[in-house]
Structure 1
């Protein structure tokens, strides 16, 4: 077996040359034996003071950032499960549509799901940490161009599930079916195409959503949903505004 020795002062070029020599040998290694130690993670573990001291500055920095106030909501942003429209859902999809329109001003509506929103926001200050808790996933915004028939399918999914967060779309739910569907203030036309802002999890079929799996086109916007929320709230604050999301009848039960 050949032995190699690297001088610690080796140049970058020399190091990459050494790696090239190693990877060009086509030699494979397999372990002669397997040994492992199982570590139980429970209350019997004692804190490692040295390690805690090592990461303390990072922990303090992270906590300071998560506690940073970036906005204020004048109303509690809640999401009751037994109603078709919620303040939290309206806030969420209004933010998505506003951020999506920065890149694509002709985007017409946005869509999310109640299950994707993990906490409610209480009346008062909004922190970075609040928005991380609201959307803890690494989902990214996407623009989907949908046929009118696909929008109809999406509306039927919304109706069948008792209502989901939307912005730019209005509809009624009658006996579990979608009626009076309008996009960007105009009645839905099956022959038209529409531009939707949503996020990759739903665009990929998450939450059993319907109508999104066969878009005319799809563009990834390169922005995480959480970043969009942070930007939206921060810009409202910079403009001297509080979040004051109301119910406006965008989805109603037709009695």
Structure 2
């Protein structure tokens, strides 16, 4: 009987252990999955009440930012626009020239190489530069995006694709460091880089924006890059740096890209 009694106790212990494991197993955390995401628009209008303590904290910083943005750093003797030329414009030429002059020292210091030319996109210029005082705010208006300069190394074959793209685009995409002359029938009369004909046995370093490097504006030829160098230099900051160095902006429609008549 003693053996049967101990056997019964053993069965009860086993049952308790089994029940405990079962409960613990059922309490195991199940992975949670997002099943629905909703949102709503909250209007900011006159019904919103200012919190004085927050407003008092923010105001000095706000005023300082406004002061910096509106401080005059250069002067434009005429309106600089991206629509005052067919194949190149005053705004496009200024932007491309700025990227060339301001980025080249950075690229040269990092790699020992120099930028051969610049190509940006016409749509990236979002505002004119009005005649009069030029400020940091002007740069934010012209280039409101966070695009930075990237230098891409391309083979000559890719540059021929680029030329074909420029001809078909029929837009004044900003360029610097090259000259492209078209015949009346839109064929290429001449294409030079740094004043020299393109050499098919070498590569060229092209400064552009991080947006275009990924194929923005259908500039797929950038995807053929042999190498790519991030400068971590925003185009807008390059503009502000350039404006701070010069007294008066000078830009004109010229012969860097045009068509024979």
TM-score of the aligned structures, taking structure 1 as reference length: 0.78
Contact 1:75 1:245 (8 Å CA) reproduced = no
Contact 2:85-2:253 at 8 Å conserved across structures = no
Number of equivalences: 223
Other-structure match for 2:132:
124
User: Structure 1 CA distance, aligned partners of 2:116 and 2:168?
Assistant: 22
Q: Tell me, in whole angstroms, the C-alpha distance in 2 between the residues paired with 1:236 and 1:137.
A: 23
Partner of 2:75: 72
| Structure (1 or 2) with the greater helix fraction | 2
Is the Cα–Cα contact under 8 Å of residues 156 and 178 in structure 1 kept in the other structure?
Answer: no
Which residue does 1:45 correspond to in 2? Answer: 47
User: For 1:89-168, what aligned pairs fall within 5 Å after superposition?
Assistant: 89-103=92-106, 104=108, 106-162=114-170, 163-168=172-177
Name whichever of 156-165 and 127-136 sits farther off. Answer: 156-165
RMSD across aligned positions (CA): 2.6
Distance 2:136 2:30 in 1: 48
TM-score, normalising length: structure 2: 0.77
Closer, same or farther: CA 39–91 of 1 in aligned 2, 3 Å: closer
Unpaired runs of 5+ in structure 2? 1-28
CA distance in 2, matches of 1:189, 1:44: 64
Alignment check: 8 A CA contact 2:148 2:231 kept: yes
1:21 corresponding residue in structure 2: none
After TM superposition, the runs of 4+ consecutive aligned structure 1 residues lying more than 6 A away are 27-30
Larger radius of gyration: 2
Q: Distance in 1 between matches of 2:254 and 2:230?
A: 30
- Pair 1:42–1:254, CA change in 2 (3 A): same
Greater mean alpha carbon deviation, residues 43-52 or residues 179-188 = 43-52
Deviation at 1:56, TM superposition (A): 2.0
8 Å contact from structure 1 (residues 152, 211) kept in 2: no
> Shift in Å at residue 250 of structure 1?
0.7
Deviates more, 1:172-181 or 1:110-119: 172-181
CA contact (8 A) 1:160 1:177 kept: no
Shift of 1:176: 4.3
Residue 191 in structure 1 maps to residue 201 in structure 2:
yes
